[in-house]
Amino acid sequence: MASLTYYGHSAFSIDTGSHKVLIDPFISGNPLTDVDPEAIECDAILLTHGHGDHIGDTIPIARRCGALVVTTYELAGYLDSQDVQNHPMHIGGYRRFEFGAVKLTPAFHGGGIEGAPVVCWPCGFLFYFDGKTVFHPGDTCLTVEFELIGRMNDIDVAMLPIGDNFTMGPGDALEAVRMLQPKTVVPMHYNTWELIAQDADKFKQDVESRTGAKVVVVPPGGSLEI
Ligand code: NI
Ligand code: MN
């Protein structure tokens, strides 16, 4: 059985049953988790962009675990300079790895890298394993690309930002659900700071009364079987 664990913000760990894959492991300094980043094990890390609340502990975790970081070409180049094992891809690209397959999706957001004078294009990830499809769009606004992604994929779980201010908020995330048509939605990128405080239970009510999707509000530290 596969499971998805939430560390708060946009940080997740997916245990496929055979591999552990982290997405945007912002652990140190994340007010929603007290997990010790040194206790986290993984085989691969999917990194959507270089902002501090996403790249987070990617470099130390990847070095310690010998994990492969999959990200955009520009950010992969920066990771090369940090002696981190990586695989560069770009938006629209699909590739199979031992831990599953990924496709990079467009994200409309900033491309700065925390602490480095490099700008990269941000992305989202479709992650495919054992007949399952998980979508993590990274930080983005509502975009019509979701329509196409929904049409071309049978999404089991979509993690969607609802925090507003830096990304789409709950109203736009509801429209994203209409376009993506996932079976399950997990809200993310909210309540980390006052600036992105949101009522996830209200989001759940709104989505479940207006779409066929189920919303699972996973508390930080909580897991979901997928
Ligand atoms: Ni960001
Ligand atoms: Mn962010």
Counting ligands in written order, the one closest to the CA of 110 is: 1
Counting ligands in written order, the one closest to the CA of 189 is: 2
DSSP secondary structure, 27-50, as one string:
-TT-TT----GGG---SEEE----
Asked whether 48 and 10 are in contact (CB, 8 A), the reply is yes
Counting ligands in written order, the one closest to the CA of 108 is: 1
Amino acid at 219: P
Model pTM greater than 0.85? yes
What is the pLDDT tens value at each position of the chain, 226 positions in all? Answer: 899 999 999 999 999 999 999 999 999 999 999 999 999 999 999 999 999 999 999 999 999 999 999 999 999 999 999 999 999 999 999 999 999 999 999 999 999 998 888 888 999 999 999 999 999 999 999 999 999 999 999 999 999 999 999 999 999 999 999 999 999 999 999 999 999 999 999 999 999 999 999 999 999 999 999 9
Asked whether 94 and 101 are in contact (CB, 8 A), the reply is yes
Asked whether 43 and 19 are in contact (CB, 8 A), the reply is yes
Amino acid at 39: A
Among candidate residues 142, 44, 136, the one with its CA nearest the CA of residue 86: 44
For ligand 2, the distance from its centroid to the CA atom of residue 181, given in whole angstroms, is: 23
pLDDT at 114: 82
For ligand 2, the distance from its centroid to the CA atom of residue 106, given in whole angstroms, is: 15
Instruction: Name all domains of the chain by residue range, CATH numbers in brackets.
Output: 3-210 (3.60.15.10)
Among candidate residues 135, 192, 194, 142, the one with its CA nearest the CA of residue 169: 142
pLDDT at 119: 86
For ligand 1, the distance from its centroid to the CA atom of residue 99, given in whole angstroms, is: 25
pLDDT at 118: 82
